[in-house]
Amino acid sequence: MRLKKAQKEAVLKWIAEGLESDEINKRAAKFKPHFKVLRSQVDWYRKTRVVKLEQIQEQGELDALHTGFAVKENRVKALQLLGDKMLAELTREADNRLWTTMVKGIGSNENYERVEYEEFNKAEVDSFRGVLDDISAEVGQRVRKTDLTSGGKPLPRTPSISELRNLSDDDLAILEHAAEIIERGTDQAPTIKD
User: Rounded to the nearest 5°, which phi and psi values hold at 146?
Assistant: -120, 130
Give the three-state DSSP class for 117: strand
Instruction: Judge contact between 83 and 135, C-beta under 8 A.
Output: yes
Nearest one of 44, 41, 12, 40 to 27, comparing CA atoms: 12
Task: For the chain, give the mean pLDDT.
Answer: 79
Q: How far apart are CA 9 and CA 108, in angstroms?
A: 71
Residue 134 pLDDT: 85
Q: Could you give the percent of the chain with pLDDT greater than 70?
A: 77
How large is the average pLDDT for residues 89-108? 82
Tell whether the model's pLDDT for residue 77 goes beyond 60: yes
Tell whether the model's pLDDT for residue 59 goes beyond 70: no
Judged by average pLDDT, the poorest of 15-19, 29-33, 155-159 is 155-159
